[in-house]
Structure 1
Amino acid sequence: MKKALLLHSSREGQTVKILRSIESELAGNYECELVDLHDMPEVNWAEYDKVLIGASIRYGHLNKKLYRFIENNLSALNEKKAAFFCVNLTARKPGKDTPEGSVYMKKFRKLSPWQPELQDVFAGALYYPRYKLFDRVMIQFIMKMTGGETDPAKEVEYTNWDRVKDFSERFRSL
């Protein structure tokens, strides 16, 4: 059976949840291995037919470890059938949920030497009750500025699972 490496740079777990959904969609065609990119794994690239990296935005930035991983593995990533998606709360708004409309994807394309042929953007989730005080207050402030949910008792999932399923199909066909 073919094998896919699913790497994640996740903070609150929504990126992992999205990757698990993609893994489910790939079942029967690919054996998937889910790995935390923050652990800076040594990858035996010959084991994998495809690679997918999912990364979340926190306070306007992708994790620096993502860029370090890309730099350390650039030639292998360029040789593989590979894809990338980022997860952020801005993508809850129409027009900001595409690679062309997402300021974060534009920034990724500018900063990353790796430019995978398949890219996408998904809206994340708010988990106010799970956040530490500082994070909750900061995220509430950002959400207030952008017209989003600010109730600290709420958990809101903005991810469009139909778009995730469509992306899964495009990744499978890559």
Structure 2
Amino acid sequence: MTGAADVIGPGALILVVGPSGAGKDTLIDAARARLEGHPRIRFARRLVTRPAGAGEAHGTLSPEEFAALRPRFALSWDAHGLSYALGEEVAQWLLSGETVIANGSRATLPLARARFSRLLVVHVTAPPEIRARRLAARGREAEGDILERLSRAPALDTVPDMEIENVGTPEDGGRRLADFIARVTA
């Protein structure tokens, strides 16, 4: 594993970011299906201090396990009262020159920019009414928590490499994301 001061590359890390309920995981899943079997593309599985739930397949760690492993993660951050990470395998894939796609956080972009030699940002958005329906359908949060998530709108500190307004079908958005990933990897 690389040390904290090392810049990780030469592979590209594509962080898919955007507000809760924009459909990031859905688009990542659709892109994964389209790119299945590509030898140089990897989809990272996030580690989260939350049990698995609807709409997100992630690895689950207790807060104690997370804290013990945090120095080994390629990237980690805290949001919504939880801790999130990309595992150390992400660094290994990037060191091997592979392209890695991950659901990330807008707040962690400055750290990611310093940590990875080739970072690309895909910003996924959707109108608030669509996001509200999606968040309610997940069944993970109470109405007040959903309203709080909808009220947050942290700005990106950079111009994204791709913007997807996720209002069409998952297949349409997933195709756009997959095409972008294929271009980056070519």
TM class, shorter-chain normalised? Answer: 0.3 to 0.5
Relative to the length of structure 1, the TM-score reads 0.47
